[in-house]
Structure formats: C-alpha cells, structure tokens
Amino acid sequence: MEEELNVSIVIPAKDEEESLSELCQWIVRVMDKAGLSYEVLFIDDGSTDNTWKEIIKANMMNPAFKGIKFNRNFGKSAALHTGFKASKGEVVITMDADLQDSPDEIPQLYKMITVDGYDLVSGWKKKRHDPISKTIPSKFFNYITRVMSGIKLHDFNCGLKAYKSVVVKNISVYGEMHRYIPVIAKWAGFTRIGEKVVEHRERKYGITKFGWERFVKGFLDLLSIMFVGKFRRNPMHFFGSLGIVSFLFGFIFTGKIFYDKIDSLFISQIPLKRDITDQPIFYLALVAVVIGVQLFLTGYLAEMVAMQSLSKRDYLIIEKVGLKELIHSQQSPLSVTP
C-alpha cells in the first residue's frame, strides 16, 4: 500500500538550471526538520537550458524529487494543472523555482490547512523586491480582483500557496488563469480562503519570464473568469437580461414612431417632415429588436450547451465514509453543482 504523503510541492520551472540544486537542498532541510513526508513535482515548462538534467540529477539523489517535462512552453497554468493532477499529498504547496519564494514558509502553510481548516492559503509578499514597473500594476490588478471577486486577498498572483488536495483535484486551471486560482476555487465552493505574509527574496539567478503583456492578459482573464464563474450554469440570465433591455429600447422607439404617425394622421393632422423610413429612430428601433432576438438566441443555445455539459457530471463530493465506490447521482442536471 502506497504511503500517504503530508505534502506535495508543485514547482513550475522554465530555464531555472542555476537555482534548482540550491532549492532542492533547501526544501530537504525544511521538510526533514518539520518531520513531514513529501514529494516535489518539478514541471519543466519547455526549458531550453539544462533544467531537465538538474531535475533528473535531483531525482537520482532523492526519489522524493520527481519531474514532468513538456515538449514546449505551455505556460504556468498548464504546468500547475499537470502538477495538481499528479500530486498525492494531503496538502499541495505551489512555489516558484527562482528562489524568490522561501521553503521555510511550508510548515506554517501546512498547519494553516490541516489545523486551522482553510481550503486555500495564499501568500502575501508584503515587502517586495521587484521594480516599480511590476509593483504598481500588480497592486492595481489585485485591487480590481478584490472588488470583483469579493475575496479579501492582497496578492492573488503570489506563487506561494497551499491547498487541500480536494481543492486542486476539482478545479481546472487553463490559459493564464493561474493568477486567479482563489477565484476559481471560490466558484467551485471552496470558500475558506486565508492569507499569510511570506518572505519575498531578491532574484538570485536569471531574469523574470514575464513582461508587460501579462497585465493585459490578466485583465482579460479576470473578465472571462468572472463571467464564466457567475453565468456558466445559467447563461440565459446574462444574455436574456441584455436581450430584454435591447427589446425594451426597440419597443420604445417603435412606439414613438407609431405615435408620431397617428398624431400626423388623426390628432394634429400635421404631415411628417420625413417618411418613417427616412428617420434615424426607425433604424434604431430595427437594430434594437434584431439585437434583442440575437441575444435571446445566444442565451438559449448557451443554456442548451450548459445543460448538456452539466448532465454528464455528478455532484462534487469531497468526503465519503463506508463506501468504496462513488454511486452516481440521480439528480436532475439542472440541480448539479459544478
């Protein structure tokens, strides 16, 4: 029977050959002192240097160090998703491979999950060793994310986080969504989200892998995840609401056209200066009604797709007792929780 591990440490690595040896030694010291059983999963995200050779070397020295290699660079989200699915620990810790995240934080993060009962704990780099070109935009995006998600975290993008295993096994991280894992977890029903001030160390080797484009992508991803999280089960609520507004404007414009026509024929008997089809309000009414129809059709089709998707899934069950196999739910697909 395979021994249950206390901690799985998932570390995406892209061209980090210089830091891996030091990082591995540091992790071993911390975990041995804490008395925790562990595994370290390095995800080589298409490195072009000797990162994979360093991972192999670490595995030969200590089988607790394991590796998964991508054939090209797929991004941090893909690396984390792959590491999450391969992890076997009771608690999953994520950190960066560049030595800016301190392994000394791991025992306390583990305690916050196992003793304090958090589903997810996010690190907060309260004192950062980054240039102002990174810190100012980061503070802005963290503020926007707090407002839109309702999650009171100071640093959503901190690479040092801890999760219950059940959390990472039941969420999907794709695209550039690694910045918003707390938001994804919240939408999945894991609402006990905590925060811990962590040490942020100066970069010792190499250069940062992220540029200004990450802020544009980050904002677009935030809009995407907020929409999907709120309306994925009931897309008609979004598209239908917009359709109603568009129809309302269309009917108001149409009513104004009919009123003017009736007024010119029977009430004031003053001929219209321009034919109805020559008036801008006619085209506004037509466009508003057409857009309303299109929004309703979009909502209906999205609702059908959502119902089919949900009907293939069961409830997210996080605990079992006395059962060896999960019995499939017989509930209506409309009541399924993603």
For residue range 81-119, list pLDDT tens digits in order.
999 999 999 999 999 998 889 999 999 999 999 999 999
pLDDT of residue 326: 41
Listing DSSP states for 250-286 in one string gives HHHHHHHHHHHHHIIIIIS-PPPSS-GGGSHHHHHHH
Q: Which residue has the higher pLDDT, 220 or 17?
A: 17
**Separation between Cα atoms, residue 259 and residue 70, nearest integer Å:** 67
**Residue type, position 221, single letter:** D
pLDDT of residue 89: 94
pLDDT (tens digit per residue) in 7-65? 999 999 999 999 999 999 999 999 999 999 999 999 999 899 999 999 999 999 999 99
Is residue 329 within 8 A of residue 315, CB to CB? The reply is yes
The sign of the CA dihedral 172, 178, 179, 181 is positive
- pLDDT tier, 337 (very low <50, low <70, confident <90, very high otherwise): very low
Q: Rounded mean pLDDT of the chain?
A: 81
pLDDT (tens digit per residue) in 55-80? 999 999 999 999 999 988 888 888 99
Is residue 41 within 8 A of residue 68, CB to CB? The reply is yes
State both tokens at 295: 């929004």
Q: Which residue has the higher pLDDT, 221 or 148?
A: 148
pLDDT of residue 257: 83
Predicted structure pTM score: 0.72
